[in-house]
Structure 1
Amino acid sequence: MDNITLEKKHVAGGKFGFVTRIFHPERPHESLNNLTPEDHLLMAEKPELSKSAWN
């Protein structure tokens, strides 16, 4: 890894970040009680939904 240039690391990091931004929001997360990040945010914004969802 020592011989990888800073430019190559930047390009690889950018590509990984792109994949993460695409995939991350669509999959459920155990730390969010198996909700997607979007669903978790919706529950946080509308507490009345979260109460009915957990019962």
Structure 2
Amino acid sequence: MERLAEEAGVHRTSIGLIERGRRSMTLELADRLAQSLGLRLSALVEDVEQSRSR
């Protein structure tokens, strides 16, 4: 989580808050997080959509 936050340019507590649903994120932040994970934003969104339909 710390490395992801560093690569995305946010504080690690922000990542934790997002994970727990206590903070929303902008599309810009979602894109930075996706890039930090080596993904395109569209791939990240698609993965979330598929998870919901299971």
TM-score, normalised via structure 1 length? 0.32
Instruction: Give the structure with the higher percent helix.
Output: 1
Q: Which structure would you say has the larger Rg?
A: 1
More relative contact order, 1 or 2 (CA 8 Å, 6+ apart): 2
